[in-house]
Amino acid sequence: MTIPPIPRTAEGGVGARRLPSTGLLADRLDRPMRDLRISVTDRCNFRCGYCMPKTVFGRDYAFLDRDELLTFDEIERIARIAVAHGVRKLRLTGGEPLLRKGIEELVARLAALRTPEGDGPEIALTTNGSALPVKAAALREAGLDRVTVSLDSLDDALFQEINDVRFPVARVLDGIDAALSAGFPTVKLNMVVKRGLNDGEIVDMAARFKGTRCTLRFIEFMDVGTSNGWSLDAVVPSAEVVDRISAVFPLEPAEATAPGETAQRWRYRDGEGEIGVISSVTQAFCGTCNRARISTDGKLYTCLFADEGHDLRALLRGGADDEQLSAAMAGIWGARDDRYSEIRSSLTPELRAARQRIEMSYIGG
Ligand code: SAM
Ligand code: SF4
Ligand code: SF4
């Protein structure tokens, strides 16, 4: 099999760009690659309307075949090279990552990787929480550092309406408890806020998790993919979320803990913890975006809104050695200039519609 050519930068070199200050791999906007999100399955047992609406992801939807998925060996190899290039956080996602058979084994393999300084990269996982009651302890045991659970409402009827498969909220709350009991020091909770759907839940959610080991993060509804019927009217700006909570539980801004952090932190003035807001629509954070994504079938995407990925699986299965893979990844990152969220508002609806955006369940949230 012939090995596909290694991507080159516009300057024509097999373009590893490096930041002079740190020597880290850099893209064209001098952003390092620090965070790799790996989609381990494009399937999910939920059908959240903002992500995998039933009208599109119905019975006949053609999910990837088993042999199209990256194997654990392939994922581990890509992750090892990414870590050598400066990645310090590996996040398993999907689809629903806990549906991937043997996910604990993959966690253990990734947890055993070492950075050039001899540390392990941070291993994180984002889940809808449905399988956490049975899997939390094994995941922790395998070396998972952090878990993020998606939770859009505490109201059972509304929660079931959102997941659209009648999954009860109590089981997800059990999953969160299971994670805390398994030894995760904290659990992050992601709430996608959609106007007219669950924005009435903002303060209840804040009240429920204030002063607990769970940190709630409110995410602006994004125009990922082409199937979720996004419109700007349905976006609740983070500033409004902060105002609504602050009117009941006063908040003050807190400093970022890490460069490239997606969430802006706000702490309760009474010392009872904090919340985060992820303002991908109203306050884009492309300037510090250090995230790369691997789709379920092994394409490297340099932006959540990229219209195409770079086929690393073809390299892996075509017999590329580590040096070739490493050069390919460096070249792809070196050529990166994505900043979709910053330019979104300057695109006409026609231009936005013309972009061939990838579904989040495939590219990894
Ligand atoms: N199934 C897992 C889950 O729900 O946590 C992991 C994959 S999911 C695609 C990752 C994250 O993306 C979730 O927190 C989900 O709420 C978020 N998400 C999905 N579609 C979104 C959208 N249109 N706007 C904002 N966030 C979205
Ligand atoms: Fe599934 Fe997560 Fe998408 Fe909901 S957000 S449909 S749980 S992948
Ligand atoms: Fe990063 Fe693309 Fe999102 Fe901007 S739009 S923050 S470049 S993933």
Residue predicted with more confidence, 49 or 19 = 49
Residue located nearest, by CA, to atom 4 of ligand 3? 286
Q: What's the gap in Å between 119 CA and the centre of ligand 2?
A: 32
Mean pLDDT is lowest, of 37-46, 221-230, 348-357, for 348-357
Task: Give the pLDDT confidence score for residue 303 in this predicted structure.
Answer: 94
Task: Give the pLDDT confidence score for residue 274 in this predicted structure.
Answer: 98
Alpha helices in 196-295 (DSSP H): 202-209, 238-246
Q: Is the pLDDT of residue 32 over 90?
A: yes
Task: Give the pLDDT confidence score for residue 14 in this predicted structure.
Answer: 53
Instruction: Tell me if 341 CB under 6 Å of ligand 3.
Output: yes
Distances, alpha carbon 347 to alpha carbons 116, 129, 202, 350, 354, in Å:
42, 36, 30, 8, 10
pLDDT tens, position by position, 305-354: 888 899 999 999 999 999 999 999 999 999 999 998 888 878 777 777 77
Instruction: Tell me if 153 CB under 6 Å of ligand 2.
Output: no
Task: Give the pLDDT confidence score for residue 356 in this predicted structure.
Answer: 66
Residue predicted with more confidence, 302 or 5 = 302
Q: What's the gap in Å between 172 CA and the centre of ligand 1?
A: 15
Instruction: Tell me if 344 CB under 6 Å of ligand 3.
Output: no
Instruction: Tell me if 95 CB under 6 Å of ligand 2.
Output: yes
Task: Give the pLDDT confidence score for residue 52 in this predicted structure.
Answer: 95
Q: Which numbered ligand comes closest to the C-alpha of 224?
A: 1
Task: Give the pLDDT confidence score for residue 1 in this predicted structure.
Answer: 42
Sequence-distant (≥ 6) Cβ neighbours of residue 271 within 8 angstroms: none
Q: What's the gap in Å between 76 CA and the centre of ligand 1?
A: 24
Q: What's the gap in Å between 10 CA and the centre of ligand 1?
A: 33
Beta bridge partners of 150: 190
Task: Give the pLDDT confidence score for residue 9 in this predicted structure.
Answer: 45
Task: Give the pLDDT confidence score for residue 357 in this predicted structure.
Answer: 65
Half-sphere exposure of 312 (CA within 13 A, CB side): 36
Task: Give the pLDDT confidence score for residue 365 in this predicted structure.
Answer: 73
Contact 138, 104 (CB under 8 A): yes
Percent of the chain's residues with pLDDT above 70: 95
Q: Is the pLDDT of residue 116 over 50?
A: yes
Mutate to test the pocket of ligand 3, among 27, 290, 304, 337 (most ligand atoms within 8 A of CB): 304
pLDDT tens, position by position, 239-293: 999 999 999 999 999 998 887 788 999 999 999 999 999 999 999 889 999 999 9
Question: Is residue 217 marked as binding?
Answer: no
Task: Give the pLDDT confidence score for residue 17 in this predicted structure.
Answer: 84
Percent of the chain's residues with pLDDT above 90: 79
Contact 166, 119 (CB under 8 A): no
- Cα dihedral: 320, 324, 326, 330 (round 10): -130
pLDDT tens, position by position, 178-222: 999 999 999 999 999 999 999 999 999 999 999 999 999 999 999
Task: Give the pLDDT confidence score for residue 185 in this predicted structure.
Answer: 98
Question: Is residue 44 marked as binding?
Answer: yes
